[in-house]
A and B are shown apart, each in its own frame.
Chain A
Amino acid sequence: MKAYLYLAIAMILAPLFPGFILKTKAFFGGRKGPPLLIKYYTLIKLLKKGSVYSQSTTLLFKLGPVVSLATAIMALLFLPMAGQPAILSFHGDIILVLYLLGLGRFFTITAAMDTASPFEGMGAAREAYFPILCEAALFMVLILLYLLNGKLSLTAHFAGTTPMALWETAGAPLLFAIFALFIVMLTEGSRVPVDDPATHLELTMIHEVMILDHSGPDLALIELGSFFKLLFYAALIAPLACPVSLAHPAATAGVFLGVLALIYVVIGVIESVMARLRMDRVPMFILTSFALAFFAAIISLEFVV
């Protein structure tokens, strides 16, 4: 029951967290910034609107937002939060989650290609490219976690009696894993230095350019999906970085939310102090995460065998 409650809270709070990023960026820019609840206002505004569809599009264009949101929700169903076991879990569930997110990507790309727009095709090509490297890095992290506890499910890693912890036996490799996951999160969440959600030049965008032709409730579904996806990755990092388990579950949940907020603030700091990378530099940046996870796996052999 508690897992359902947590899921509901997470889904309700998901649009709040990106507000922290905006606030952080505003702070660095010396501005007041938009209100924390800005994303809720945006969602409500979009939901009230109608839509204009391109004449080139087919049903796939309308299916894109629905599938990408559905896959993001599926990912949250498998996600253990604040040390609580997830609603769904089995041996190998994490592979299913990653492939479901892949399915979401498939339909986001097909929705973009449906418009016959060269810009969206460009974005789609990038969206198809970078996550390949991310997946390699993510599977490397999975290998690391599997080497450490012989399990292959999110709940087994992050909930229950023996969750992964930074100060347990294999802290050093886990530190690498946290960095690797952070890079993956920045890529998958379309953040600086891979992608800039605030940019206004179509040629330099990835995620934003793919959804140029979406409007109204469709766009709201996409936005919501991307909030959930970002939350999913942040919630993978949070228990690794701060595996606190207090006596009272509410206190644990509070700490968990605090760590999540902190991760979003860090994203905001990165966006404020870094420029986005040139497009051909991005693969190297992502491969850094793969290399980190690979080293972590090799180092962790010392701890397990």
Chain B
Amino acid sequence: MSQFFAALGIILVGGVFPLLAGRQMKVIKATGAIGIAAGCLLGVIHAINAVWGGGVHTASYRYLHIFELSFRLDGFAAFFLVAIFSICLLAALYSYHYMDDEDRPRRTASHYLLFALLTISMALVVTANNMLAFAFAWEIMSLSSFFLVLYNHEEEANRRAGLLYLVFSQVGAMFLFTAFGVVFAHTGSFSFEGFATLPDNTKLLVFCLAFVGLGSKAGVFPLHFWLPHAHPAAPSHISAVMSGVMIKVGVYGIVRLYLLLDFSSLVPGYILLIAGILSGVIGVVYALGQHDLKRLLAYSSVENVGIILMGFGLGMIGAATGHSTMAMLGFTGGLLHVLNHALFKSLLFMGAGMVLHKTHCRRLDQLGGLLKTMKVTGTTFVIGAVAIAGLPPFNGFVSELLVYLGAFQGLTQSRDLLLLSLLAIVSLAVIGGLALACFTRVLGVAFQGEPRTEAAAKASESGTTMLLPMIVLAGFCLVIGVTPDLFIRMARGAVISGGLVEAPLAWGHSWNLANQITRGAAIFIGLIAVLWLLRTLLYRGKTVTRAGTWGCGFTQPSPKMQYTGSSYADDILAFFKNIAPKRVDHPPIEGRFPAPTHYRSEVDDLAEQKIEPMVLRPVHWIFEKLRWIQHGDIHLYIGYILLTIVVLLFFI
């Protein structure tokens, strides 16, 4: 573990040093980026070793002489560490050219400190081994990311996003700490060991309470809607970290809690599976309805968390029914998707960051044609889009296939499980199709066709440290997709090491799966190469010319005539109008001399709409009734304090 803490130390140094660098922008960025990247590199090497080694490392420290903070690193936690450190490493590199606020060096420097704290706290959450350490790291994670969301606090939208995020993370933390409190009331210790000794009903209560807290961080529907506000507000590499790994820390918490509570009932599996199905389908439908590139990516994170939860839920159901093949497939698929999503989502956020950096525009319908001017960004974005749509030969397919196979295993168990598995399979299929529609839309509108605005037309890409991480991430997407063997074994090792599945041999039909995928991918890539060669031969010596796009006889086309993102998604959204209501602002064209008109459509988030009447107003009403306690009279306040002390003296 000492190497792990050394890595965290280096990251912290990388965070503090920029503050001392005064106004030297280059020094600030270089020390921050290199410090964090170096620490993450050390951390990722250690984490990979820990996944392969499979051993358990522990460490504990006294804090303020009474509290003990203890940490434990097993294979399962190490797998998350791999994702956290590798994404933060690339994000730190990316930040070097991305952060160009020349006139605000202090803000850039404090951004590096917060970034370092965020990285450290995420690593500490997944290694925490008692409630105190977990709560401590969890709060640092929430607060450091909150300040990062406020990086551009001059814009009102960002301040609102930050506030929403703060409320969500604190209310979530409240639920989590209530759960811890319930456990503490039973066991009288902060240790994680006591969780398993709780009575069954209490276990369920603790799980549900903590699920609200952890699930809101993970972006589970209907607790997700802070995410599309907060993630896009942060600088793009921070969005990549938040969407790519921070929400996975919430998922980690859920699964760790499940492990600690040592459930024998089916309920947690059902909860996760149903929450996963809802988040998956609804997340991608909302993603399809977005006009803002970064918001769209954030919604797509909700979808992918859904897929991850479906995997874990199927795994838990398999474990509870004693079906170890199903458990193994579900857990491995879910865990591998954690890594896969971290890779392609960071890649896409970095691509979006490049677009934002160069065009200062996030609206899809104002972009276009970027693939021609931003070759590397465009190409890696295409790869990320194919991967996130779950298509072979890229990595998203591998984890989704494992989840599919797990769900198919569930079909033959029992009648009620049949229905859920059936639902899971069909939703996965629908999610796949919708993700394809969603990302062909992003590509087609923002990166292809003709530029719709001046800014999009003039965009060009630059910044080696921004391009390099994208290339690396795209490379990994392909590598995992073509040769998944190593990575599936890594995820499997983590699942076994974490104690999620007892029988290490439970793998059923799927022994050979990775090799089959590799073989299929190899044949496919070979086939493409052959066909490309054939195509080149067929075109040899032929006249190949360039002309305008066929306009069906219309000779004055303009970029404005292109199909917009709104039109592209309109039919599909109409199909889902019950969960994604569309708001249209379009004054009708009337009279002989019609006034100028416009068309604006927005897809509303149902959860965001309903929280006002269903949660906020009742809560507000209750507090309205309790208002008399707060009257502003200082004498009575002192009376409250005395009363509290007297009551405490009586009861303790």
Could you tell me which A residues sit within 8 Å of B by CB distance? 47, 49-56, 58, 60, 62, 65-67, 69-71, 73-74, 77, 88, 90-93, 95-96, 99-100, 102-103, 105-106, 109-110, 112-122, 124-126, 128-129, 131-133, 135-136, 138-140, 142-143, 146-147, 150, 152, 202, 212-213, 216-218, 221, 279-280, 283, 297, 301, 305
Contacts and interface: CB of A to CB of B under 8 A. Distances in A.
B523 A74 contact: yes
B539 to A, nearest CB: 6
26 contacts: A49-B542, A52-B547, A53-B547, A55-B548, A58-B448, A66-B532, A71-B524, A96-B401, A102-B436, A109-B444, A110-B382, A114-B444, A118-B562, A121-B563, A124-B444, A124-B563, A132-B437, A133-B433, A136-B430, A139-B425, A140-B422, A142-B425, A143-B411, A147-B411, A212-B550, A221-B535
B509 interface: yes
A116 B538 contact: no
Contact of B412 (A105, A135, A150): A150
A95 B510 CA distance: 14
A188 to B, nearest CB: 12
Contact of A136 (B429, B559, B572): B429
Interface stretch (B3-11, B316-324, B387-395, B605-613): B387-395
Contacts of A146: 408, 411-412
B365 interface: no
Cβ-closest 9 pairs across A and B:
A121-B563, A113-B444, A132-B433, A116-B449, A50-B542, A91-B509, A128-B437, A50-B543, A90-B516
A126 B547 CA distance: 26
B14 to A, nearest CB: 39
Given A113-B448, A116-B549, A96 B517 contact: yes
A77 B523 CA distance: 10
A153 to B, nearest CB: 9
Nearest to B449: A116
Contacts of A297: 422
Nearest to B539: A217
Interface of B: 368-369, 371-372, 382, 386, 389-392, 397, 401, 404-405, 408, 411-412, 415, 418, 422, 425-426, 428-430, 432-434, 436-437, 440-441, 443-445, 448-450, 509-510, 512-513, 516-517, 519-520, 523-524, 527-528, 531-532, 535, 538-539, 542-552, 557, 559, 561-563, 567-572, 575
Nearest to B552: A202
Nearest to A91: B509
A98 to B, nearest CB: 8
Contacts of A49: 542
Contact of B371 (A51, A58, A124, A279): A58
B531 A125 contact: no
B545 A52 contact: yes
A49 B562 CA distance: 29
Contact of A103 (B386, B544, B570): B386
A92 B412 contact: no
A136 B434 CA distance: 11
Given A116-B559, A213-B550, A110 B568 contact: no
B277 to A, nearest CB: 13
B527 A73 contact: yes
A87 to B, nearest CB: 9
Contact of B571 (A88, A126, A305): A126
A132 B288 CA distance: 13
Given A60-B371, A113-B445, A221-B535, A147 B404 contact: no
